Structure formats: C-alpha cells, structure tokens
Amino acid sequence: MAGGGAALRAAVAAVVLAAWSAHGLYFHIGETEKRCFIEEIPDETMVIGNYRTQLWDKQSESFLPSTPGLGMHVEVKDPDGKVVLSRQYGSEGRFTFTSHTPGEHQICLHSNSTRMALFAGGKLRVHLDIQVGEHTNNYPEIAAKDKLTELQLRARQLLDQVEQIQKEQNYQRYREERFRMTSESTNQRVLWWSIAQTIILILTGIWQMRHLKSFFEAKKLV
Amino acid sequence: MTSRSRADGIRTLPRRPDGSAPLPLPGVRPSAPRRSGPGGPGGGQGPCPGPPPAEAPPVPVPVPGGRHVRRGGAGRGGAERSAAGMRAGMRARMRARMRAGMRALALALALCALRAGGTELTFELPDSDKQCFHQELERGLKFTLDYQVITGGHYDVDCYVEDPNGRTIYKETKKQYDSFPHRTEVKGVYTFCFSNEFSTFSHKTVYFDFQVGDEPPILPDMSNRVTALTQMESACVTIHEALNTVIDSQTHYRLREAQDRSRAEDLNGRVSYWSVGETLILFVVSIGQVMLLKSFFTEKRPGSGGAGT
C-alpha cells in the first residue's frame, strides 16, 4: 500500500507530462502560409483560443517539444471586416476576444518567423483549440472562487447553457431576417427583370420590323 | 454505465419530416466538459492510468473493500473496539493511504477526463487543395468525426481518415455531410483530411467536429462519490444533458441555415448578372440580325443577282 501511493503519484506525474506534450488536434503550416478559421457566433460571446507550436528539426527528423523564439501572429476580423484583434504571440499562446456584432468572425494564424526557412525546411506543427461561449468557463475555478457546492455549480452551468441558447436563438432570428431579405430581393429582381426583358424584346422586335420595312421600301422590294 | 449510455443518447439525430433516415448531426457543439478541459491542457490523449473516464459519476462508484468507506468507518460494535486497538490504528493508516491514493487517482482520472474532449472548427478549403488534421489517441477510445460543407460549388468534399498504421478506415468522395463514429484499435496519431482536389475553381467552407471520449464530470473530485445522487442532482444532470441536445440541434440548424443562405445569395447574384447579360445579348443579336439581313439584299458586286437594283 505504501508503494501504491508512490506509484499513483508517479502515474499522475506521467499523465501531467503527457498532457503537456500531446496537446490535441494539430495541423501543419508552411512558412508564410496563413490559416484561417471561421467562427459564427452571436454577439457578446467570448472566444478563447489556445495554440502551441512545434518546429521540425532536420537533424533529429522529428518535431522539437517546444521552441522559444517562434512567433505566431493572430488576427481576428469581425463580420464587417474590421480587425478586432491583431497581435503577435510567442510559440505558445492564448488569445481571447469578445464579439460585439453577431456573425462570422475570422481567426487567422500565420507565422512570421524567418528562422523556419533556415532550420525547419518550412514545416511547423500547430496545436490549436478554440472554445466558444459557455465552454470558456472554468468550472472548478468558479467553484473555488465563489465557494459553491456541487449542486450550485451545476445550477450555474445550467444557467450559462441556457443563456447561450438564448443568445444563439436571437442570432438565429437576425439571420433568418437577412435570409428573408435576400430571398425577397431575389424574388423582386426576377419579377422586374422578367417584365423588363419582355418589354425590351417586344420593342426590339417592333424596331427590327420597322427598320427592315423601311429598308425594303427603299429598295423597292415591298 | 448509465453515464456512457446517456452520453451516447445525446447524439440522437432529428428525424426528417417524412420519417426517412435521420440526417446526421454534424453541427455538434459539445458542452463544456466534453471538450478539452476548461483552461487546462488540450484534448489530446496520452497514457491514462486506471479506469476510463466514463466511469466517472453520476454513477455511484463502489469503493473496493466496503469496510474502508469513509463514512462507514465509525460505529462498529463495542466488542471489536477493545480487541482491535492496533488493527484500528493500522486500518486508519491504510484508510489514510487509501484516501490519498483515491485522491491521486481521482486527479489522474480528472486529468484523463479533462483530456477527453474534442474540437470543432470551420475553415476554408481552397480549390485543388487538401487540408489534414491529426490527433494522437489512445487505444480503445471512441471518437466521432462529423463534417459538413457550408458554402462553395456543389457543396461536396472528399474526406478520408487514416489510423496510425496508414490504413484508411474511412473514405468518402463528394459528400455533403457525414458522421463517422469509430473505436480506436491502435494507439497513435490519427489523421483526417478534407480534399477539394476535384474542383478547379470553387473553394469550399468546411465545418468539422471531432469528438473524443465521453463527458467528464464538472468537478475534478466528483470521482470520489460514494453515495448515489439525490433527486435534485440527478434532475440537474438530466437537464444538463437535455440542454446539450438543444445546443447540438441549434448548431445543426445554424449550419443548414448558413448553407441555405449562401445558396440564396448565390441565386440573387446570379439573377442580377444573368439579367444584365441577357439584355446585352438581346441587343447584340437583334442588331446583328438586322445588319445581316440588310447585307443579303445589298448589292456589293455590279451585275450580280439579287432582287435589288
């Protein structure tokens, strides 16, 4: 039993170490390549993004666990194209922003490091995780700060979820309105253009016949 | 066990109105715990000691060796107390060690549970391009990949999933949306790729949701539960799971609405351009016809045939 505790502690340590070395979904990015992700979110929603980069090491033919000196530039644009966040972070970073207009926000990442071309052959591994809305809440932290019991914490979580649902529904109403306006505009355009084109067709026909008639009369064929 | 079936139960799909096969539910926005832990390390998988996270509460966890239950320790019969003075001391020490061990195990479980998560991302796939994502997974884990094409071209994309040995475990071409559940058999890096290589000029927006594992508990020390849940707590859990379903549905409808809206806006643009184009073509053709006819009846060469003089 005495050894069991130590073994468990070692296991926990191993898990923690592994947690930091395998950081979730990752993808490869070239040197000047820019990768953009779209988040369609309602307004007043917080978004937290965590990323971690690893550099390809030509000598060991593997990715180094972490490389200081690498930088990633993060740019976030709101649905109107306005830049909400444009910052340089280190090789491991966390960016946060809150949306003020509902719609499609674009989160773009690119590396502006020039070391990559020299050492890496242009390959960079980026681990990324983006959390939106009520997923940004850290419940154990909230429980510790406000000293909530499990039931109270669960109630808080339910409240957050319901709030998110409400926001999403408001956003849906706004989207549906836009959709309806687009459809009505298409409907109008089709209607008016059909009428206009029929009139133009008739007028052109009449012009053609009259022009030809006067032409043939001039030629004394008619 | 109930937690696992309930977690699976969340993923029931809305049936189509005509009762045909349900649409897959690609638009899954998971609740907080299903993702990589809030603020903690991301949802990757590493060595996980002990039982899988699914055994976390609300299922009451039976503590091995009923006598060492924290609350049950006191209140033994008087006859035992005198005789087992030393044994009580030893038992207390063992209990303390057990407690420490359980706490450590709970922490490990929590970390494991925190790491059972998922990612959902929407990205733009340029034409004739392929984008791949990788994730390191343990053996025996259940994961689900949902994807849907939101805008672009014919709203279809190729997708394939490879296991660490390079074997293709899923491959589909020109699919608009799909859901792929799988249980990992090998430990290692799993790759899934989306390919738009068959398209030459339409870039697509693809949404994917990669869910790994089951929903972990909201608090790290909930693994230490020794009693069953009260009615209040189990009602809360039921509400939580129902809300998860609601959020999933909302994401699903949001994606479909985005798709429809993109089609409607395309149609609008196309109607405008085609109307203007058709009017121009009309003018060109009518004037061309008149000039051609005139040229038939106009003498070019002296003494040639034709009706005119």
Question: What's the pLDDT score for residue B53?
Answer: 40
Q: What is the pLDDT confidence band of residue B220, given thresholds at 50, 70 and 90?
A: low
Query: In this structure, are residues A52 and A127 in contact, taking their beta carbons and an 8 Å threshold?
Result: yes
- Which chain B residue lies closest to A130 (C-alpha atoms)? B119
First vs last C-alpha separation in chain A: 119
> What SS3 string covers chain B?
CHHHHHHHHHCCCCCCCCCCCCCCCCCCCCCHHHCCCCCCCCCCCCCCCCCCHHHCCCCCCCCCCHHHCCCCCCCCCHHHHHHCHHHHHHHHHHHHHHHHHHHHHHHHHHHHHHHCCEEEEEEEECCCCEEEEEEEECCCCEEEEEEEEEECCCCCEEEEEECCCCCEEEEEEEECEEEEEEECCCCEEEEEEEECCCCCCCCEEEEEEEEECCCCCCCHHHHHCCCCCCHHHHHHHHHHHHHHHHHHHHHHHHHHHHHHHHHHHHHHHHHHHHHHHHHHHHHHHHHHHHHHHHHHCCCCCCCCCCCCC
Token duo for residue B261: 């809206």
Chain A positions touching B114 (Cβ under 8 A) are: 19
Q: What is the pLDDT confidence band of residue B48, given thresholds at 50, 70 and 90?
A: very low
Mark whether B214 and B82 lie in a shared domain: no
What is the C-alpha to C-alpha distance for residues B125 and B172, in angstroms, rounded to an integer?
17
Question: What's the pLDDT score for residue B55?
Answer: 41
Question: What's the pLDDT score for residue A119?
Answer: 54
Mark whether B159 and B255 lie in a shared domain: yes
Please tell me chain A's helix, strand, coil percentages from 3-state DSSP, rounded to the nearest 5: 50, 30, 25
Better-scored residue on pLDDT, B18 or B223? B223
Residue B144's domain is classified under what CATH number? 2.60.120.380
**A25 contacts: CB under 8 Å, gap ≥ 6:** A127, A128, A129, B42, B43, B44, B119, B121, B133, B134, B135, B210
Q: By percentage, how much of chain A surpasses pLDDT 90? A: 31
Mark whether B106 and B122 lie in a shared domain: no
Question: B186 lies in a domain?
Answer: yes
Question: What's the pLDDT score for residue B239?
Answer: 92
Mark whether B252 and B138 lie in a shared domain: yes
Question: What's the pLDDT score for residue A117?
Answer: 53
Chain B positions touching A12 (Cβ under 8 A) are: 49, 104, 107-108, 111
B277 in A contact zone (CB under 8 Å): no
B287 vs A131, A197, B283, CA distance in Å? 61, 16, 6
**Residue B57 above 70 pLDDT?**
no
**A155 contacts: CB under 8 Å, gap ≥ 6:** B236
Mark whether B126 and B154 lie in a shared domain: yes
- Give residues 90 to 109 of B whose Cβ lies within 8 Å of A: 94, 97-98, 100-101, 104-105, 107-108
Q: What ipTM was estimated for this complex?
A: 0.76
Question: B58 lies in a domain?
Answer: no
Q: What is the pLDDT confidence band of residue B28, given thresholds at 50, 70 and 90?
A: very low
Question: What's the pLDDT score for residue A124?
Answer: 80
A2-170 CATH fold: Jelly Rolls (2.60.120)
Question: What's the pLDDT score for residue A24?
Answer: 80
Q: How high is the mean pLDDT of chain B? A: 71
Mark whether B257 and B138 lie in a shared domain: yes
Question: B200 lies in a domain?
Answer: yes
Question: What's the pLDDT score for residue B62?
Answer: 42
**B150 contacts: CB under 8 Å, gap ≥ 6:** B122, B204, B205, B206, B207, B255, B258, B259, B262
Mark whether B78 and B130 lie in a shared domain: no
Q: Across residues B42-55, what is the average pLDDT? A: 40
Query: How confident is the model over A93-114, as pLDDT tens digits?
Result: 899 999 999 989 999 988 876 6
Q: How high is the mean pLDDT of chain A? A: 81
Question: B16 lies in a domain?
Answer: no
Mark yes or no for CB contact B286/A207 under 8 Å.
Answer: yes
Query: In this structure, are residues B118 and B211 in contact, taking their beta carbons and an 8 Å threshold?
Result: yes
Mark yes or no for CB contact A175/B108 under 8 Å.
Answer: no
**Residue A165 above 50 pLDDT?**
yes
Question: B247 lies in a domain?
Answer: yes
Query: How confident is the model over B130-159, as pLDDT tens digits?
Result: 899 999 888 888 888 999 998 888 888 999
The minimum CA-CA distance between B163 and chain A, rounded to whole Å, is 15
As for how many domains chain B has, the answer is 2
- Report which of A136, A134, A180 is spatially closest to residue A161, judged by C-alpha positions: A134
B272 in A contact zone (CB under 8 Å): yes
Taking CA A170 as the corner, what is the angle to CA B7 and CA A108, rounded to the nearest 5 degrees? 75
Buried b (16+ CB within 10 A) or exposed e, A161-189: beebbebbeebbeebeeebeebbeebeeb
Domain boundaries, chain A: 2-170
**A208 contacts: CB under 8 Å, gap ≥ 6:** B286, B289, B290
Question: B144 lies in a domain?
Answer: yes
Query: How confident is the model over A122-145, as pLDDT tens digits?
Result: 678 888 889 888 787 888 888 888
Question: B192 lies in a domain?
Answer: yes
Query: How confident is the model over A19-43, as pLDDT tens digits?
Result: 444 458 888 887 778 889 999 888 8
Count contacts between A and B (CB, < 8 Å): 234
Question: B37 lies in a domain?
Answer: no
- Tell me, what amino acid is at B43? G
Question: What's the pLDDT score for residue B160?
Answer: 92
**If you average pLDDT over each of A45-54, B21-30, B292-301, which comes out highest?**
A45-54
What is the C-alpha to C-alpha distance for residues B290 and B309, in angstroms, rounded to an integer?
20
pTM (2 d.p.): 0.66
Mark whether B88 and B126 lie in a shared domain: no
Half-sphere exposure of A94 (CA within 13 A, CB side): 8
Question: What's the pLDDT score for residue A5?
Answer: 56
Mark whether B95 and B139 lie in a shared domain: no
Query: How confident is the model over B154-208, as pLDDT tens digits?
Result: 888 999 999 899 899 999 998 888 889 999 888 999 999 999 888 888 888 999 9
Structural domain including B205 reads 118-218+233-261
Q: By percentage, how much of chain A surpasses pLDDT 70? A: 79
- Pick from A10-19, B126-135, B287-296: least confident: A10-19
Question: What's the pLDDT score for residue A37?
Answer: 92
Better-scored residue on pLDDT, B86 or B294? B294
A95 vs A12, A76, A128, A184, B245, CA distance in Å? 28, 10, 11, 40, 29
Mark yes or no for CB contact A129/B50 under 8 Å.
Answer: no
**Residue B64 above 60 pLDDT?**
no
Mark whether B103 and B124 lie in a shared domain: no
B269 vs A103, B263, B265, CA distance in Å? 21, 10, 6
Mark whether B156 and B181 lie in a shared domain: yes
**Residue A172 above 50 pLDDT?**
yes
Question: What's the pLDDT score for residue B281?
Answer: 94
B201 in A contact zone (CB under 8 Å): no
